[in-house]
Structure 1
Amino acid sequence: MVAIKASAVDGFVARPPADVYAVLVHGPDAGLVAERAAKLASQAVAGSDDPFAMVRLEGDDLAGDPGRLADEALTIALFGGKRAIRVRVGGRPIVTAVEALLSGPQPESLTVLEAGDLKKNAPLRALCEKSPRAAALPCYPDEAGARERLIDEEMRSAGLTISADARSLLSAHLSADRLAAREEVKKLCLYAMGQGTITSDDIVAVIADAGEVGMDEAVDAAFAGRPADAASALRSLRTSGTPASVVVAAALRHALTLHRMRGDVDSGRSSRTVVESAGGMIHFRRKDAVERALSRWTGARLMEATARLADTIALARKSAAIGEAASERALLAIATEASRFAR
């Protein structure tokens, strides 16, 4: 077969051609490789009552006994029907074993080869892409569209819906690994079972990293000129084990982002337009806080804040003993300063 494009892989997995009996599933996304391999194999033995219909082999074992793969593939199922053979490709070459399979008679089984990231000229990949009896399916980290489909699949399966804000927050926090992402969504659905619609609060409770959310709250409170809220967020973070020096690093990144956005505002664009055009750089839960910060901070003041935060980080690296106190003081000083001016 010709090489299967990444965009066509899901369609292939749903309806694999009858004349293809060896499929190489490969790529850097190990979770996606495992998920697609499992789906292909389970579909091949669907309806079978034979406990031996699913066979698992190690590629390194086949490298020392290349004829075994073809023998397993040609073995007739004990109770009839198709068999599936899942082979985990290791460090030793198994091209000879796969060539023996593809050059022999068509078996009543499907062989699924699971491999890591293979270069285009890798012998196993080249063999499966060129053979009319085989196919090679690339698995790359989830793109936005694939992640949305994953969320939709699990929502339908659980009989739940999800709000637009919650969907955006969920997508932003899901792992790039397909298997890990699916487990996270399943955990969320279990948590929300029976309530009908999943909200942003559910995402924060189950999936969003509490430290990350807390840092955002501390940073936003500081640049919005709310010293009391900033101090409260810092206390909560300290209790949970997140040092203030880490929050200062997040504040420095945020100050640099605000400075770039402030330049757009100074060129004549509104704060709202600049924030909206930032897209995924600014999470939707923070947009109002960022817009308020842009109305308070000038470019010059943001440069001063950036220098102060950078100096604090340098001090914390030199002396951990005083770094935490200095970090908290720097953040509270920014909050106090922001409270004194507004545009």
Structure 2
Amino acid sequence: MTAVKAGEVEGLLRRGPDPRILVILVYGPDTGLVAERARRLAESAVADPADPFALVKLDGDALASDPGRLVDEAGTVGLFGGRRAVWVRPGSRNYAPAVEAVLKSDGADTRIVVEAGDLARTAPLRTLCERSPRALALPCYPDDAGALNDLIERTLRAEGLRITREAREVLAAGLGGDRGASLGEIEKLALYARGREEIGLEDVEAIGSDVSGSVLNALIDAAFAGRVAETERSYRRFQVEGMEASVMLGSALRHALTLLATRLDGEGKSPSALVAGWRGLHFRRQKSVEIHLARWTPGGLRRAVALLQEAVLACRRADSAFAHAQAADLFLRLAVEAARRGGG
């Protein structure tokens, strides 16, 4: 078995995977973290980063139509020699046969990095990579406290910056749910503090925004608890105040991702026990979040995450009026679904 526990992934990345491993599957609900780790694995595998032919990117749906293409790419020798990498991007179709074919081949000196979404335990791609001695399956769930602190320190150190303990704790409390969003906040802080050596609490407070969407808690809590009328009122209030639809949807997406990770990590535990272990949750929200965890199954949360991800992208491309109409409809759909799950 070559499945890797979520807490072991970062250490494996720092050490580097066994060079005998041919295929590395990166998957999970935190799409930002999945994309970041897949990029690191693919780029670190090539012998010459300046060689434009050393790293090949393929679409998963293209491989579903032509499974043999991955074997061909894996066996191709680089123009200037040295190790190559193939980065397979997410697709909507089953391309496990292409990965299975390459695992049975010699594979030459090529690393295959497969970037995927939140795969169920029985998903063909995940099952294949977890069972093969020539593959690794790396899960990516929302960062815990240790991972967030490491991300903050590592990102700021690369910019020549230090951060005080108090400032780091406050910053970390506002991050989580999505690695891409968290990294964006840290980079924004680094840009603000450029030219200095140390970041203090006043810097975090000056530019920080709660990536978990604390100002939107009323809307998010109402929607995921099934309070339809309150969801509608809260959405209208934020819309009147000028908040962008994509911001509201993004906060709901991060909450759904955190709910999903909590349900998966605490399988078998009661909602109250899960809430007790929820890092950074304000005591006033505990009852609402307990209701969320009681009403939403992992399957339901996966569907909610998919809908929210699609809506965030669509709203960023649409005009304000259409974006708000689409976002408002989705929040109400979530609330109706939650009410149905609660028998309300």
| TM-score where L is the length of structure 2 | 0.60
1:57-76 mapped onto 2 (5 Å cutoff): 57-76=58-77
1:127 match? 128
Cα distance per residue 1:300-329 (max 9 Å; x no partner): xxxxxxxxxxxxxxxxxxxxxxxxxxxxxx
| Structure showing greater Rg | 1
2:30 match? 29
Cα distance in 2 for partners of 1:183, 1:103 equals 40
Question: Which one-letter code corresponds to 1:83 in the other structure?
Answer: R
2:262 match? none
CA 1:123–1:83 in 2, change beyond 3 Å: closer, same or farther? same
Identity, % of aligned positions: 50
1:178 match? 179
2:221 match? none
Q: Could you tell me whether the CA contact under 8 Å between 1:49 and 1:79 is conserved in 2?
A: no
Specify the SS of the correspondent of 2:35: helix
Question: Which one-letter code corresponds to 2:73 in the other structure?
Answer: E
1:106 match? 107
Question: Offset at 1:177?
Answer: 1.0
Cα distance in 2 for partners of 1:85, 1:193 equals 36
Question: Offset at 1:4?
Answer: 0.7
Cα distance in 2 for partners of 1:241, 1:22 equals 47
1:156-195 mapped onto 2 (5 Å cutoff): 156-195=157-196
1:116 match? 117
2:8 match? 8
Specify the SS of the correspondent of 1:4: coil
Cα distance in 1 for partners of 2:55, 2:163 equals 36
CA 1:213–1:148 in 2, change beyond 3 Å: closer, same or farther? same
Aligned length: 225
Question: Offset at 1:163?
Answer: 2.0
Specify the SS of the correspondent of 1:76: coil
2:205 match? 204
Question: Offset at 1:95?
Answer: 1.4
- Unaligned stretches of 5+ in structure 2? 217-237, 244-278, 284-344
1:19 and 2:24 matched: no
Question: Offset at 1:196?
Answer: 2.0
Specify the SS of the correspondent of 2:138: strand
Specify the SS of the correspondent of 1:135: strand
Cα distance per residue 1:174-220 (max 9 Å; x no partner): 2421122112111111111222221222112222359x8999xxxxx
Q: Could you tell me whether the CA contact under 8 Å between 2:142 and 2:176 is conserved in 1?
A: no
Cα distance in 2 for partners of 1:214, 1:9 equals 32
Q: Could you tell me whether the CA contact under 8 Å between 2:144 and 2:176 is conserved in 1?
A: no
Cα distance in 2 for partners of 1:91, 1:174 equals 29
1:47 match? 48
Question: Offset at 1:240?
Answer: 7.5
| TM-score where L is the length of structure 1 | 0.61
Q: Could you tell me whether the CA contact under 8 Å between 2:173 and 2:280 is conserved in 1?
A: no
CA 1:130–1:159 in 2, change beyond 3 Å: closer, same or farther? same
Q: Could you tell me whether the CA contact under 8 Å between 1:21 and 1:107 is conserved in 2?
A: no
Specify the SS of the correspondent of 2:184: helix
Question: Which one-letter code corresponds to 1:99 in the other structure?
Answer: E
Specify the SS of the correspondent of 2:81: coil
Question: Which one-letter code corresponds to 1:180 in the other structure?
Answer: A
Q: Could you tell me whether the CA contact under 8 Å between 1:44 and 1:84 is conserved in 2?
A: yes
Q: Provide the aligned C-alpha RMSD in A.
A: 2.7
Cα distance in 2 for partners of 1:40, 1:196 equals 30
Cα distance in 1 for partners of 2:27, 2:155 equals 24
Cα distance per residue 1:31-71 (max 9 Å; x no partner): 10001000001110143432111111111111111100010
Question: Which one-letter code corresponds to 1:95 in the other structure?
Answer: A
